[in-house]
Amino acid sequence: LDKLIAIIQALGWQKAAWVALLVCGTISMAIGFKWWELRDGGASVAESLGGKRVLTNTDSARERQLLNVVEEMALAAGVPVPPVFLMPSEPGIHAFAAGLSLKDAVLGGSQGGGDYLKREQLQGVVAHEFSHILNGDMRLNVKIIAVLHGIVMIGESGLTLFRLSSRRSYGGSYRSSRRRDNKGLGGIVLLGVALIVIGWLGQFFGSLIKAGVSRQREFLADASAVQFTRNPEGIGGALRLIGGHTQRSSVQHAKAHEM
């Protein structure tokens, strides 16, 4: 705390206040934009990960089995049957529930899950996801997505400033004009580096919070999966299979970290 106060005093309280307002304003705008982007609920999350909705008239036996299992677990959980999305380019065994409420909730799964899971294991995984729907984990996760996006936006802004200043330092027609701009470019570079550091630190601690919240929720979802299926070997067998699977539960999409 003493070091922080010393830094603020060195900058000057007025400058420190402006910097704080700038950072908080950037975060708030980015969070608001991401929240607006996810206003449609789970479908927007599933589509951003490359998910394609599984239609009820599908000709694929695996997809029909997935739809049947989702209907069974929805009945067991006592909730409406949500739309189902499949990520066809994901070889790992993965599933997720997304949405802001029961009305816009969706259930997503990877191609690897459909290819490698037996029916009782698929029931366990789907039941696990229905626990996330019932316990409000979906809405919590969407909030975390929005907040982390705001924090990451600071780092992205820093990278943009750094790249622009680097390009400008090598551009121009006259060496004298470059010299005159050196001081200004130096300030932009320092600002960019500072924003990158702030964004990285925020993302790091945000990830710790996300992991801490998710771990306890996952334990509860595993227990709920046993309750819904009346079969401990469903989710248990799926977890053992994931543990030994080459691709495990990883998602390779570019937005996997964000989501």
Residues annotated catalytic, as ranges: 129
Burial class (CB in 10 A: 0-12, 13-18, 19+), 243: exposed
In whole angstroms, what is the distance from residue 189 CA to residue 164 CA?
9
Strand duo 84-87 + 106-110: pairing: parallel
Q: Of all helices (H) and strands (E), which one includes residue 97?
A: strand 95-98
Helices 2-11 and 13-37 cross at an angle (nearest 10°) of: 100
In whole angstroms, what is the distance from residue 234 CA to residue 121 CA?
4
Please state the φ and ψ torsions of residue 105, each to the nearest 5 degrees.
-75, 145
CA dihedral 230, 232, 233, 236 (to 10 degrees): 140
In whole angstroms, what is the distance from residue 242 CA to residue 248 CA?
5
- Are 71 and 34 spatial neighbours (Cβ–Cβ below 8 Å)? no
Strand duo 95-98 + 106-110: pairing: antiparallel
Q: What DSSP designation does 99 have? A: -
Q: What DSSP designation does 80 have? A: P
Place of tokens 């539960």: 249
69 token code pair: 């299992």
